[in-house]
Structure 1
Amino acid sequence: MSQKIRIAIQKSGRLNEESLQLLKDCGVSIDNGKDQLKATARNFPLEVLYLRNGDIPQYLRDGVVDIAILGENTLIEKGKDLPILERLGFSKCKVSLAIPKGQKYDSVKDLEGKRIATSYPNTVKEYLASKGVTADLHIINGSVEIAPSIGLADAICDIVSSGSTLFKNNLKEVEQMLTSEAVLTVSPSITEQRQQILNTLKFRMESVLKGRNFKYVLLNIRNEKLDKIIDILPGMKSPTVLPLAESGWSSVHSVVDKNKFWDIIEELKAEGAEGILVCPIEKMVS
């Protein structure tokens, strides 16, 4: 392939690190120099542009980049016309409204006519309009958490991950407007040749992400309990069963959804499973 696909990634922070880790897990080796704004993959037709998160939707529309990994919250705020190709499962957060801790709050109606500081004016306007509330928005690019303490606003709208930033600034979360995670999106003007490269990269991403969502489980069980164990374990089609050297015993291999993992392990133990071994799955190719 003579052409390279151009991907936009946030310049710094957690989203940057986890995006680059995903590409690495997809077998894409990127030469990253200090403070570089652009880098090229050594072993895949891909070029990385490091951009401000809020600028990425316009770069996609203009065809400067072909694809991007960015926060869904940014797509909702600035790129609703751009499609989500893949939810990537990392950099999860909420976009919420918060007010000073000592302030009484009963419902979103309490924000009527109040001053709200935010970097997400479109999201706030749409949310408040859906609740029949009108407020005075102050657009701030940066640390909005200090706005109430300096008298600039009565409330804020911002990203909430752990809630520690709100706590430090004597604020409390009162309305969760949306949840967000990293997503893969694409330019409307991507060429056919670059679309083919995207299809290859997307296939790799899907295999990596699927692997992250499952665990590989091996266990030993007496043959008379095999049917019960097979009922518990889902597997891709069905569990793999192999006879052990010791008569009357079998080894059972399967994959388990990580979100149901501990419940399934408890069931397996209750049915007499022994020597349970759990392994991470690097990739899962369908």
Structure 2
Amino acid sequence: MSKLKIAVQKSGRLHDDSMKLLKDIGISIDNGRDQLKASARNFPLEVFYLRNGDIPQYLKDGVVDVAIIGENVLIEKGNGITVIEKLGFSSCRVSVAIPKGKKYVSVQDLEGKRIATSYPNTVKTFLEQHQVNANLHIINGSVEIAPNIGLADAIVDIVSSGSTLFKNGLKEVDVLLNSEAVLAISPLITEANKTLLDQLQFRLKSVLRAQQHKYVLLNVQNEKLEIIQNILPGMNSPTILPLAKEGWSSLHSVINKNQFWEVIDELKRNGAEGILVCPIENMVL
């Protein structure tokens, strides 16, 4: 029986978020400590635990069919690999950082400078786009220390909170690209495994869609129903149910989490009472 082969990062935050996502879509993984490969109990799926930087080559070679990987790694090493879904977690950016006491006005200030980075292809493309010449020092890990030991004038590395830069006396001055976890597909995936991937992606979409919304229940006087209904359009329109209390109804609807508090405030101003908010596990359209 065919099995879909998926690669995830061996350890770290991206690994943890990837495994949680697989769990959220109902896939149970039998994996023990330090295993490099594991099978799912309830879906034809094998999980490969790999170094993040190695995953693009495994995709190119067809060793794995799909991967959950940082978009920044694909941009650096995954030429020809297609992203089929953005997953909305493990957000970061690839940025230029320099010592706090140094001045930076624009990318032109990097002309002739020494830049330490683990992302040489990304940096070269960025510099070429701005017609800037600089000297690259390729470092795998601990890039932040390079300016402090006199190896570089600036660094280009991934940044999440910026705390690591701060601890090393650096400041972020320019952003090359923004990144998040994505689902990427091998160009060599078989037709049989494309069918399995469609099933997996269907589950992913329902969970990711649910994460962007909240389910809301509220009570309102019937005379205010039209106003509240205009505030709460829902997927097509709100569900309206009569309450035992005469002249009152209960409305059920869905709110995009990015508009949540604004909508709740407007509901309250227009007479909504007893507002309940519930998370949504899956949203199937």
What is the Cα deviation at residue 234 of structure 1?
2.4
Determine if the alignment matches structure 1 residue 256 to structure 2 residue 283.
Answer: no
Q: Equivalent residues in 2 for 1:29-48 (5 A)?
A: 29-48=28-47
1:226 is the counterpart of 2:225: yes
Distance 1:234 1:11 in 2: 43
Equivalent residues, number: 285
In structure 2, the residue matched to 1:197 is: 196
Q: Distance in 2 between matches of 1:51 and 1:96?
A: 25
TM-fit CA distance, 1:80: 3.0
Q: CA deviation at 1:132?
A: 1.3
For 2:213, the aligned partner's letter is F
Per-residue CA deviations over 1:176-211 (Å, capped at 9, x if unaligned) read 111000000111111111111100000000000001
1:88 matches 2:87: yes
Task: Give the match for residue 59 of structure 1.
Answer: 58
Shift of 1:105: 1.4
Q: Distance in 2 between matches of 1:149 and 1:278?
A: 50
CA distance in structure 1 between the partners assigned to 2:186 and 2:253 by the alignment? 39
- State the percentage of identical aligned residues: 70
* Letter in structure 1 aligned against 2:235: M
- TM-score (norm: length of structure 2): 0.99
Moved over 4 A (4+): none
Give the aligned partner of residue 270 of structure 1: 269
Q: Secondary structure at the match of 1:260?
A: helix
Q: Which residue of 2 aligns with 1:8?
A: 7
1:246 aligns with 2:245: yes
Match runs of 1:115-134 below 5 Å: 115-134=114-133
5+ residue gaps, structure 1:
none
CA distance in 1, matches of 2:35, 2:150: 39
The Cα RMSD (Å) is: 0.6
Provide the rounded CA distance (Å) in 2 between the counterparts of 1:12 and 1:103.
Answer: 35
Q: Which position in structure 1 is the counterpart of 2:113?
A: 114
Provide the rounded CA distance (Å) in 2 between the counterparts of 1:105 and 1:118.
18
Deviation at 1:32, TM superposition (A): 1.7
Give the Å deviation of 1:107. 1.3
Question: Is the partner of 1:245 in helix, strand or coil?
Answer: coil
